[in-house]
Amino acid sequence: MATRLFEKKDHADLYQKYRFGPSEELQKIISYLEEKTAKPYKLSVDVGCGSGQGSTVLVPYFEKAVGIDISEAQINQAKQSPNVLNISFIVGPAKKLPLEDGSVDLVTSYAATHWFNIEPFMTEVERVLKTHGCMALST
Ligand SMILES: C[S@@+](CC[C@H](N)C(=O)[O-])C[C@H]1O[C@@H](n2cnc3c(N)ncnc32)[C@H](O)[C@@H]1O
């Protein structure tokens, strides 16, 4: 399975060291969200979050942020990053998000959706998003 690439700790260490965050994309994503739905924004979810760079940049905009990844090694690495006050990292697959129906303002996924079984993932996104919630996929 392709996701095994991300299972090992040494790969997660390298990812944390060298992977850059989505800085330019972020403003576009937040502006789009602002067009579609009113503040306050309660919850963002970053699926296939890896070592968490894309999840932590969302923290200032949301009451709470969650990063989810199928790789325990990546999640362990993400948990060690600074600036983790309003963020939690959870091990789990994209096809079964441990979130309530209609609870999420923004779902993001950077460089990860090509690994997912896309139909169950999209069904989950539809389930967890609020009305007028947004999804931003970057790959
Ligand atoms: C190329 S990395 C991208 C990580 C991060 N989004 C970033 O931009 O740095 C892809 C990530 O997707 C995760 N992944 C792959 N298949 C997954 C699945 N079915 N459910 C959740 N995460 C998955 C991998 O473990 C890996 O951490």
What is the pLDDT, as a whole number, of residue 68?
98
Q: What SS3 string covers 6-59?
A: HCCHHHHHHHHHHCCCCHHHHHHHHHHHHHHCCCCCCEEEEECCCCCHHHHCCH
Is 22 among the domain residues? no
pLDDT at 60 over 50: yes
Q: 111 in ligand 1 pocket by Cβ < 6 Å?
A: yes
Q: What is the extent of the structural domain holding 109?
A: 2-17+39-138
Residues 6+ apart with CB under 8 A from 90: 66, 67, 68, 75, 98
Q: What does the pLDDT average to over 118-127? A: 98
For residues 33-42, average pLDDT: 94
In a domain, 29, yes or no: no
Mutating to test ligand 1, I would choose from 69, 87, 123 the residue with most ligand atoms within 8 A of its C-beta, which is 69
Distances (CA, A) of 102 to 36, 44, 80, 93, 125: 15, 12, 29, 19, 9
List 136's β-bridge partners, or say none: 108
| Residue 28 lies inside a defined structural domain of this protein | no
Domain of 56, CATH number, reads 3.40.50.150
Tell me, using a 6 A CB cutoff, whether residue 49 lines ligand 1.
Answer: yes
Whether residue 47 is contained in a domain is answered as yes
Structural domains of the chain, count: 1
pLDDT for the residue numbered 16: 73
47 pLDDT tier (thresholds 50, 70, 90):
very high
In short, whether 52's Cβ falls inside 6 Å of ligand 1 is: no
Q: How far is the CA of 28 from the centre of ligand 1 (A)?
A: 22
Cα 30 to ligand 1 centroid, rounded to whole Å: 22
Q: What is the mean pLDDT of residues 38-63?
A: 94
pLDDT at 41 exceeding the cut of 80: yes
